Amino acid sequence: MLRFRKLRDSDLTAFDLEHAALTGLLPSPDYYKETLARGDMLLVIFDGEKPLGLLEMAAEPAGDKPPCAWVSRVLILPELRRHGLGRMLMALAAGEAAERKLWFLTGDIPDTEEAAAFAEAIHLRPDDRFGGRVLLDLSDVEGLRHG
């Protein structure tokens, strides 16, 4: 059964993250610890004890006209991509942003076809009102619904 949770410091010792396949796709083995130490949020998908994917959102909003929730990483194990897990993470991030009274999600899109297709599918697009920065307007979250 899949579980989605905000990673906490106590989870760093509760789960064997060091040997997880997902950890091998991250920039460093200390990624989880470093991210939480900065105060950023990690939403992680678990299947039992095994992490399958994650989303990182900055603690502080980006920009000010209006401020946006900054999603800096969405990562799913390659064999599990294209099953809606990324959409689920983005939907949870949208809920978190709305709780913070932030009505836009923004971030960088890696320069890959797969990342560009995901961004397009969830309606994360460049917006001229924000200097071409990619945005997801949370007043129109149709792209986050599966199907």
How many angstroms from the chain centroid is the CA of residue 115?
12
Residue 69 tokens, joined: 């929730």
Q: Residue 147 pLDDT > 50, yes or no? A: no
Q: How many other C-beta atoms can be found within 10 angstroms of the C-beta atom of residue 54?
A: 23
Report the chain's terminal Cα–Cα distance, integer Å.
21
Distance CA 87, CA 145 (A): 7
pTM of this prediction? 0.86
Per residue in 8-33, pLDDT (tens digit) is: 999 888 888 888 999 999 998 899 99
Distance CA 55, CA 48 (A): 18
Per residue in 75-114, pLDDT (tens digit) is: 999 999 888 899 999 999 998 998 888 888 888 888 889 8
- Three-point CA angle 103, 108, 114, nearest 5°: 110
Per residue in 115-142, pLDDT (tens digit) is: 888 888 888 888 877 777 788 888 765 5
Fold that domain 2-144 belongs to in CATH:
Aminopeptidase (3.40.630)
Q: Residue 3 pLDDT > 50, yes or no? A: yes
- If one compares 1 and 53, the residue with the highest pLDDT of the two is 53
- If one compares 131 and 147, the residue with the highest pLDDT of the two is 131
Closest CA to 2 of 39, 47, 38: 47
Q: 3-state class of 146 per DSSP?
A: coil
Residue at token pair 């410091």: 9
